[in-house]
Structure formats: C-alpha cells, structure tokens
C-alpha cells in the first residue's frame, strides 16, 4: 500500500482499477501490449500520424495566408518527417517485434532522431532537433487523445492515471465507468481541474509521481477531499473508504434534497448563489443544484475543444442556447480568457517564457482584435434573445475597458446599419483579478457596471505563486491576510459607489469561507454547480451581524493559519459536516 499526496481539486471518493494513459511531455513509460493487440496498436499509431498531419497542414496554410512564408516552411519540415519511412518504419517495427505501446515507440524513435541532430553540433541542426521534439509531443498528444477506443472496452469502475490531461481529454473521460482521475501535474485552478468539478469527477492533481508508482490494473482510491491517492490498499483501508464513500453520497443526496430552499440567512438577507459553467448544458445542473443563474460562463472552452477557432455562428449558437436555458435568470458571459494555459502555449510558434505575466486574457483579445470582434459580435447578436452581461477578464488598466467599449460601440453601429437587433444597454463589467485592479477599484467602478472578484488569479498575483505549480502549492492560500484585505477593499468600494460585486473564484464554493465573505459585504457567490447545495446550507445558518463581527476579527490576524483556525471554528458551529469538503484555498 502507498499513499500519494496531491492537490484535491474535485471532491468525492472513488474506488476502482487504474488505467494508465501515456504522458504528453516526452517521458513515456515502457509498457507492453498482448501480441493480439499489435495490429490495432499500429492502426492507432497511423491514425495519430494522419491526425497530426491534418492539424499541421491547417496551421501551415493559416500562416501562409497571413503572409508568413518563413513560418509556414517550418511546418513543411514537420510534414516531411511524418512521411519519412526511415523514422516511421522503426516505430512500426518496435510495436510489431517488441510489443510496446505506440506512445513508447514514438517517443523512443523521435528522441533518437533528435539526439542525432544535436550531435552534429550546429545551430541549424539544433533547431531541427527542437522541431523533432515539438512534433513528438504533438503526436503523443494525439495518441493520448485517442483514449476513447481503449476506455470504451473497459468494464467496471475505472480511475484514469496520467501525467497531465488537456481539457478535451478531461471531457472525454466523462463516461459511466470512469469514476475519477489523478495526474502528476496540474493545480487547483487549471482548466482540467475546473472541468473535473463541473463533471463531478473526484480528482487529485499535482501528485508528482502517480504515473511511475501505479500500474495498469492496480486497485486505487482517489480521495478528492483529502487530496490523496491510495495505491493497492489493504482490505481494512478499502472497507473504511467504501464506508466513507457511502456516507459522502448520502450527504450529497441530503444536500440536493434541500436544493430548492431559498438562499436566505437566518435574519432574512438574500444571498445569490450562481453557477460557473463551461458549456450551456450545465445550466440545467446549476438549476438542479439550487442555483439562481450563471455568474461565470467561461467561453474559452469553445476554443480549447477544437483545433480551429469557433466562428461567429458557432459562438452565437452556444450563447443563444445558454440564454434559452437561463430563461431570464442572470447570465454573465466572460470574454475569451486564453494565453496562459499550457494547451494554448503549446500551439504557439514561440511559447512565452512567462505566460501568466504575458499576452493573456483581455491583452490577448485586444492584440487579436479580429478574433475579439467575432466574439463581441456574437454576444451582441445573442443579446437580442435574452438578458446577458459581458465580463472582461484580467483587466489591469482603465484603458482596456475603454478600448473594449469603443470596439463594442463600433460593432453596434455595424449591426444597426445591417438592421440586426441587439440589446443596446448590455451591462459590461470586469473581473478583479490583480492587485492593480483591486487597488484601483474606485477608478474602475466609474467605468464598469459590475465587479466580479476572480480569486484564483488574485491569489496568484498577490502572493507571487504560480497556481499551476505543484511545487509551491502550499503557498497558494486564499486565507492569506493580504488576499483577504484586497477582497474586503473591493467589496467596500463597490458598495460605496453603488455597483454589484460578486466572487467567482474557487473560494466562493468553499463553505469554509462563506461566513467571512458575507461578513465582508459580498451578496453574490458564483461556483461550480455541485458546490451550491453545501454553500446554501451554510448561508441558511448565518446571521449578518455575526458575519460582520467575524470579518472584523479575521481582519486583525496576520497569518493564514490564524484565519483558517478561526474559520474552521465558525463552520464547525454552523455546519460541522461541511468541514470535510471545505479545506484548501
């Protein structure tokens, strides 16, 4: 038996047999297949070659259309490699003779070719080696993306073990027999973790070594609440976790049975609980869990789910569907928030050295205005079908808000001239995600119609902690007094100026923080749909005066440990059972 500690990113306990997927960073483990599967494994490898070639041809053609002939020629070399039998032949032979998985055969032969280029000691060949490694990773990503064929043949509860998963792979895991996943890399607020919560799949990420310590078929327990993966548990421990899993399921049923109770404190203050979604269909889940609407619709998943950007019509269709399902309830749609995601960086010709401080979110949109205009036009057209709010991510300067409004006004004039209807008074607000935005909240409050505090990035930028880096995960803490001071300041400013303020970061869905946030003056919380019932139960046990006293007391602390101890004591008084799923930050 072995317990591997990681970061619990999606609550719940799952027990099942491990299925190990190939890594996508070139460190593919040696694994064999039965001789009877050789033919299908070669077919899988050949399909990945065809898929990669199609993807590269599309990229090359885009570059050529933009006049980037030199950049387009880089991809010509990639296409030639995919057809080079001196490279592909040995891969096929390794699978046939050594019975190894396609991922291992691809990685070994591509690495050998890269090493030969590097041995030539010339900068030109060094660049070719880099191209080979890039192509190897692309192929491995395609192979990992082909999980459906393998997973479809499995029976019984399955737990997926991987180095990392892309958003599209995570969505693919949402099937009846897959009950959880665990990964070497990842962080609390990455796209994969967000999707795990949306899909209600227990998950532990940032484990560091699950792919090396777990083998196919191992019995595994994933404890998403405790952030631990237990490998080959003994009978006693297995029985204990089976009991814990049944208790957790019972508690969730009880919470959902009360989902339609009003979200009102004991002394009559309504607290609006909204859902964070990635896809329009999730709105039904938000409502089923007692949510009152959508506080954050993350539109970047329209881009992450495909190699080609969505068209205006694609986006319009998604937004209209969300509007129809929301049926007049709050619907806050965030504009494209891309740039720092690993998946995005892998698709750049020159990935940024520090993407979290680079061209991301609103900066990325304003630097790619044709793409941004496509989204804004779709949003304007969708607004004719029902009420929406537009929210801009990672705004750090008032001019970004003003520039976006100018673009929106220009597009409105175009739609007017074309006779296309739209809402002329769409509220536009910003996410407060950086210390700069928090400290300048008063200036922003005169330009924006509402604030939504995005605590995921606010914590990261305030504490100088990469929220996707498992090595410093312990420093990423929402209970840090500096973070809490910024949240309180923004909430106070919004209240004084008279605009709405909400919180849509992960702490909004943690019952541990609910009394404190309410005490700071926040009256709207937006979270993953599955978190709404637990937060609502806490809300119904609160009294505003007591929450405000708690906020003042917490404001005097100078360490996150003091804050957490105080909040745990408070939650234990209100709802002791909620403590099991409220840890972390």
Orientation angle between helical segments 85-98 and 69-83, nearest 10 degrees: 40
pTM above 0.85, yes or no: no
In a domain, 30, yes or no: no
Q: Is the pLDDT at 375 greater than 70, yes or no?
A: yes
Q: E strands along 289-366, which residues? A: 294-298, 331-334
Q: Say whether both 98 and 197 belong to one domain.
A: no
Q: Tell me how many domains the chain contains.
A: 3
Residue entry with tokens 């390794």: 94
Q: Say whether both 297 and 400 belong to one domain.
A: yes
Q: What pLDDT score was predicted for residue 150?
A: 58
Q: Say whether both 115 and 85 belong to one domain.
A: yes
Q: Say whether both 391 and 530 belong to one domain.
A: yes
In a domain, 243, yes or no: yes
Half-sphere exposure of 292 (CA within 13 A, CB side): 14
Q: Say whether both 414 and 507 belong to one domain.
A: yes
Q: What pLDDT score was predicted for residue 82?
A: 87
User: Average pLDDT in the 147-164 region?
Assistant: 72
Out of 251, 286, 319, a domain closes at 251
Q: Is the pLDDT at 68 greater than 80, yes or no?
A: no
In a domain, 134, yes or no: yes
Residues in the chain: 585
CATH code for position 7: 3.50.30.10
pLDDT digits (tens, 9 = 90+) for 37-59: 899 999 989 988 888 888 788 77
144 to 21, 162, 172, 201, 243: CA distances (angstroms)? 7, 9, 11, 19, 34
471 to 53, 114, 353: CA distances (angstroms)? 36, 29, 18
Q: Say whether both 274 and 217 belong to one domain.
A: no
> How many C-beta atoms surround the C-beta of residue 79 within 10 A?
15
Q: Say whether both 10 and 117 belong to one domain.
A: no
Q: Say whether both 277 and 234 belong to one domain.
A: no
Q: What pLDDT score was predicted for residue 22?
A: 57
Residue 566 is a catalytic residue: no
482 to 37, 408, 438: CA distances (angstroms)? 56, 35, 12
User: Average pLDDT in the 393-410 region?
Assistant: 96
Q: What pLDDT score was predicted for residue 374?
A: 96
Q: Is the pLDDT at 581 greater than 50, yes or no?
A: no
Lowest mean pLDDT among 143-157, 500-514, 524-538, 569-583: 143-157
In a domain, 320, yes or no: yes
Interatomic CA distance for residues 342 and 53, integer angstroms: 21
Among residues 78, 163, 365, 504, which one is catalytic? Answer: 504
In a domain, 325, yes or no: yes
Tell me what the pLDDT averaged over the chain comes to: 86
Out of 221, 251, 281, a domain closes at 251
Nearest to 241 by CA among 254, 256, 255, 224: 224
Q: Is the pLDDT at 350 greater than 60, yes or no?
A: no
Q: What is the pLDDT confidence band of residue 289, given thresholds at 50, 70 and 90?
A: very high
CATH code for position 404: 3.20.20.60
Residue 191 is a catalytic residue: yes
Q: Say whether both 77 and 105 belong to one domain.
A: yes
Interatomic CA distance for residues 53 and 88, integer angstroms: 13
Specify the higher pLDDT residue, 12 or 400. Answer: 400
Q: What pLDDT score was predicted for residue 131?
A: 76
CATH code for position 76: 1.10.274.10
Find all residues with CB under 8 Å of 250, minimum gap 6, and list them. none
Q: Say whether both 218 and 286 belong to one domain.
A: no
Out of 97, 115, 148, a domain closes at 148
387-425 burial: b if 16+ Cβ within 10 Å, else e: ebbbbbbbbbebebbeebeebbeebbeebeeeeeebbee
In a domain, 574, yes or no: yes
Q: Say whether both 133 and 83 belong to one domain.
A: yes
499 to 444, 446, 452, 454, 538: CA distances (angstroms)? 11, 9, 11, 16, 25
Q: Say whether both 216 and 284 belong to one domain.
A: no
Mapped onto helix, strand or coil, the DSSP state of residue 535 is helix
95 to 6, 106, 153, 187, 227: CA distances (angstroms)? 34, 9, 21, 34, 37
Q: What is the pLDDT confidence band of residue 547, given thresholds at 50, 70 and 90?
A: very high
Specify the higher pLDDT residue, 577 or 280. Answer: 280
Supply angle C-alpha 223, 227, 233, rounded to 5.
Answer: 45
Q: E strands along 38-117, which residues? A: none
Q: Which domain holds residue 351?
A: 258-581
Lowest mean pLDDT among 45-49, 126-130, 334-338, 464-468: 126-130
In a domain, 131, yes or no: yes
Q: What is the pLDDT confidence band of residue 101, given thresholds at 50, 70 and 90?
A: confident
pLDDT digits (tens, 9 = 90+) for 175-234: 668 899 999 887 776 767 777 877 788 999 988 878 888 887 889 999 998 889 999 999
450-464 burial: b if 16+ Cβ within 10 Å, else e: bbbbbbbbbbbbbbe
Among residues 191, 207, 546, 547, which one is catalytic? Answer: 191
Nearest to 435 by CA among 444, 446, 425, 448: 444
What is 22-49 written as a DSSP string? Answer: PPSSS-PPP-B--GGGHHHHHHHHHHHH
Q: What is the pLDDT confidence band of residue 584, given thresholds at 50, 70 and 90?
A: very low
Q: What pLDDT score was predicted for residue 201?
A: 87
Interatomic CA distance for residues 224 and 14, integer angstroms: 8
Lowest mean pLDDT among 17-31, 82-96, 315-329, 539-553: 17-31
DSSP-derived letter for residue 358 is: S
In a domain, 469, yes or no: yes
Specify the higher pLDDT residue, 307 or 409. Answer: 409
Q: What pLDDT score was predicted for residue 471?
A: 72
Q: Which residues pair with 568 in a beta bridge?
A: none
Using DSSP bridges, classify how beta strands 178-183 and 203-205 pair: parallel, antiparallel or unpaired. parallel
């Amino acid at each position: 038996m072995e317990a591997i500690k990681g970061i619990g990113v999606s609550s719940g306990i799952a027990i099942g047999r491990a299925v190990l997927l190939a890594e996508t960073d070139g460190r593919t483990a040696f694994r064999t297949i039965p001789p009877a599967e050789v033919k299908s494994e070669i077919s899988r490898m050949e399909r990945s070659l065809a898929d990669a070639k199609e993807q590269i041809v599309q990229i090359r053609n885009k570059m050529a259309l933009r006049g980037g002939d030199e950049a387009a020629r880089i991809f010509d070399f990639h296409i030639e490699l995919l057809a080079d039998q001196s490279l592909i032949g040995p891969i096929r032979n390794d699978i046939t003779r050594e019975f190894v998985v396609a991922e291992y055969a691809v990685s070994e032969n591509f690495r050998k070719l890269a090493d030969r280029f590097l041995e030539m000691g010339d900068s030109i060949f060094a660049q070719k080696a880099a191209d080979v490694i890039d192509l190897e990773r692309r192929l491995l990503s395609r192979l990992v993306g082909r999980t459906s064929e393998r997973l479809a043949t499995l029976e019984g509860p399955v737990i997926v073990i991987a180095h990392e998963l892309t958003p599209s792979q995570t969505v693919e895991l949402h099937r009846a027999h897959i009950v959880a996943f665990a990964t070497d890399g990842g962080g609390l607020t990455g796209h994969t973790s967000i999707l795990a919560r949306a899909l209600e799949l227990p998950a532990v990420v940032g484990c560091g070594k699950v792919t090396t310590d777990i083998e196919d078929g191992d019995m595994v327990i994933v404890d998403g609440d405790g952030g631990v993966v237990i490998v080959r548990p003994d009978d006693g421990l297995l029985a204990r976790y089976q009991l814990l899993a049944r208790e957790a399921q019972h508690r969730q049923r009880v919470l959902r049975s009360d989902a339609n109770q009003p979200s009102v404190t004991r002394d009559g203050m309504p607290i609006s609980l909204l859902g964070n979604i990635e896809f329009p269909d999730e709105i039904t889940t938000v409502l089923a869990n007692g949510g009152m609407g959508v506080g954050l619709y993350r539109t970047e998943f329209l881009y992450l789910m495909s190699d080609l950007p969505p068209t205006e019509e694609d986006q319009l269709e998604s937004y209209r569907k969300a509007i129809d399902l929301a049926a007049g309830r709050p619907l806050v749609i965030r504009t494209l928030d891309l740039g720092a995601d690993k998946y995005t960086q892998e698709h750049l010709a020159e990935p940024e050295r520090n993407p979290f401080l680079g061209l991301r979110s609103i900066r990325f949109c304003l630097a790619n205005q044709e793409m941004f205009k496509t989204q804004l036009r779709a949003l304007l057209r969708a607004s004719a079908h029902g009420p929406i709010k537009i929210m801009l991510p990672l705004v750090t300067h008032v001019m970004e808000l003003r520039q976006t409004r100018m673009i929106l006004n220009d597009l409105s004039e175009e739609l007017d001239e074309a006779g296309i209807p739209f809402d002329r008074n769409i509220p536009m607000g910003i996410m407060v995600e950086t210390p700069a935005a928090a400290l300048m909240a008063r200036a922003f409050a005169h330009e924006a119609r509402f604030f939504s505090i995005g605590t995921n990035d606010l914590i990261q930028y305030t504490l100088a902690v990469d929220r996707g880096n498992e090595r410093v995960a312990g420093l990423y803490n929402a209970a840090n007094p500096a973070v809490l001071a910024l949240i309180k300041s923004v909430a106070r400013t919004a209240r004084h100026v008279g605009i709405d303020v909400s919180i849509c970061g992960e702490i909004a869905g943690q019952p541990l923080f609910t009394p404190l946030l309410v005490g700071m003056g926040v009256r709207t919380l937006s979270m993953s749909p599955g978190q709404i019932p637990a937060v609502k139960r806490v809300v119904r046990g609160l009294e505003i005066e007591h929450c405000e006293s708690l906020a003042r007391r917490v404001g005097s602390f100078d360490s996150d440990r003091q804050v957490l101890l105080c909040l745990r004591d408070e939650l234990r008084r209100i709802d002791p059972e909620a403590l099991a799923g409220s840890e972390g930050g």
